[in-house]
C-alpha cells in the first residue's frame, strides 16, 4: 500500500522508499531487489540460489558474504517488505492528518493494487503458505505484520468513533485477506467491489459516517 503511487507495493524494490539505500552495498542491494522480484512473482522455494546469484549479477562469494544462506535472504526479504509497508502507511497517516481520509486512501490503494498488472496476491500470505512451521522466523514476521496492521486500522477506527474498533480492525484485515486472495485467484473487479462493500459496512458504525 504505497502512499501516492500507481505501482503496487508488491512490485516495488524493498529499497524504494523509507530506506537508507545509499548506506547499503550495491551488490547487497541488487541481491535483495532480485529476491524481491523473483520470490514474489514465482514463489520463495521455487527460486534457487544459483538463479539469485545469476540474476543479481554477483559472484557466489559475494552472495555468501552478504547473506550467508538463502534462509537469511528470505528473512531479510519479508522483513524489508514489512518495514516498507509500515513506513508507507505511517507516512500516509501523518500526511492526511485525518483518520477517515487516511482509511479511505488505504482502501483505494488496496483496490488499485489488486487490479494492477502483475498482481500475485499478498506477499505475506504467500510467504506464510510456504512456511508451515509457525515458529519459523518468516512466520513470526508475518504475524508481527498482521498484528501491526490490525492495530493501525483499529486506532484509525477508534479516532472515528467506532464502537468496537478492535473488532472493526480485525474485520478490515480479513476483508483485505479476502480481496487479495480472490482478486488473484478469481475476478479482481468482483473481489474489489465486494471488498468495498465490506469496508463501507464497517465504517458505517463510525461517528464520521
User: Tell me, what's the pLDDT at 205?
Assistant: 74
- Give Cα 130 distance to the centre of its chain: 16
User: Tell me, what's the pLDDT at 19?
Assistant: 46
Burial of 101 (0-12, 13-18, 19+ CB in 10 A): middle
pTM of the model: 0.86
* CATH code: domain of residue 38: 1.10.357.10
Look up residue 164 and give its DSSP letter.
Answer: S
The pLDDT confidence band at residue 24, using thresholds 50, 70 and 90, is confident
- Nearest C-alpha neighbor of 149 from the set 180, 170, 122, 178: 170
The pLDDT confidence band at residue 208, using thresholds 50, 70 and 90, is low
Contact 73, 37 (CB under 8 A): no
- Does residue 1 lie within any of the structural domains? no
User: Tell me, what's the pLDDT at 82?
Assistant: 97
At which residue does the C-alpha cell 498482521 appear? 146
* Residues 73-92 pLDDT 10s: 999 999 999 999 999 999 99
Domain count, the chain: 1
- Does residue 3 lie within any of the structural domains? no
User: Tell me, what's the pLDDT at 209?
Assistant: 55
CA angle 2, 5, 6 (to 5 degrees): 120
Question: How is residue 44 written as a grid cell?
Answer: 520463495
Please give the average per-residue pLDDT across 52-68, as a whole number. 96
- Does residue 111 lie within any of the structural domains? yes
The domain in which residue 90 lies consists of 9-203
- Does residue 2 lie within any of the structural domains? no
Q: What is the mean pLDDT of the chain?
A: 89
Burial of 60 (0-12, 13-18, 19+ CB in 10 A): exposed
- Rounded distance between C-alpha atoms, residue 187 and residue 41, angstroms: 19
- Does residue 195 lie within any of the structural domains? yes
**DSSP assignment string, 104-137:** HHHHHHHHHHHHSTT--S-HHHHHHHH---TTSH
- Going 77 to 78 to 81 to 82, the CA torsion angle's sign is negative
* Residues 111-164 pLDDT 10s: 999 999 999 999 999 999 999 999 999 999 999 999 999 999 999 999 999 999
First to last CA, the chain: 23
User: Tell me, what's the pLDDT at 8?
Assistant: 42
How many residues does the structure list for the chain?
Answer: 209
- Does residue 208 lie within any of the structural domains? no
- Does residue 26 lie within any of the structural domains? yes
* Residues 163-187 pLDDT 10s: 999 999 999 999 999 999 999 999 9
- Does residue 173 lie within any of the structural domains? yes
Amino acid at each position: 500500500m504505497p502512499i501516492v503511487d500507481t505501482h503496487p507495493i508488491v512490485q516495488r524494490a524493498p529499497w524504494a522508499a523509507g530506506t537508507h539505500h545509499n548506506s547499503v552495498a550495491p551488490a547487497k542491494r541488487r541481491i535483495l531487489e532480485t529476491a524481491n522480484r523473483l520470490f514474489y512473482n514465482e514463489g520463495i522455494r521455487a527460486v534457487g540460489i544459483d538463479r539469485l546469484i545469476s540474476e543479481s549479477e554477483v559472484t557466489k562469494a559475494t552472495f555468501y558474504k552478504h547473506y550467508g544462506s538463502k534462509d537469511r535472504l528470505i528473512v531479510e526479504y519479508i522483513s524489508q517488505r514489512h518495514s516498507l509497508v509500515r513506513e508507507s502507511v505511517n507516512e500516509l497517516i501523518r500526511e492526511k492528518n485525518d483518520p477517515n481520509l487516511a482509511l479511505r486512501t488505504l482502501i483505494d490503494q488496496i483496490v488499485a493494487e489488486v487490479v494492477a498488472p502483475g498482481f500475485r496476491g499478498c506477499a505475506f500470505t504467500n510467504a506464510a503458505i510456504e512456511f508451515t512451521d509457525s515458529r519459523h522466523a518468516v512466520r513470526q514476521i508475518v504475524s508481527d505484520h498482521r498484528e501491526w496492521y490490525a492495530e493501525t486500522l483499529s486506532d484509525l477506527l477508534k479516532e472515528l468513533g467506532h464502537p468496537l474498533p478492535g473488532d472493526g480492525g480485525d474485520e478490515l484485515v480479513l476483508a483485505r485477506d479476502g480481496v487479495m486472495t480472490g482478486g488473484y485467484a478469481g475476478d479482481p473487479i468482483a473481489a474489489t467491489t465486494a471488498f468495498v462493500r465490506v469496508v463501507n459496512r464497517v465504517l458505517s458504525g463510525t461517528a464520521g459516517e
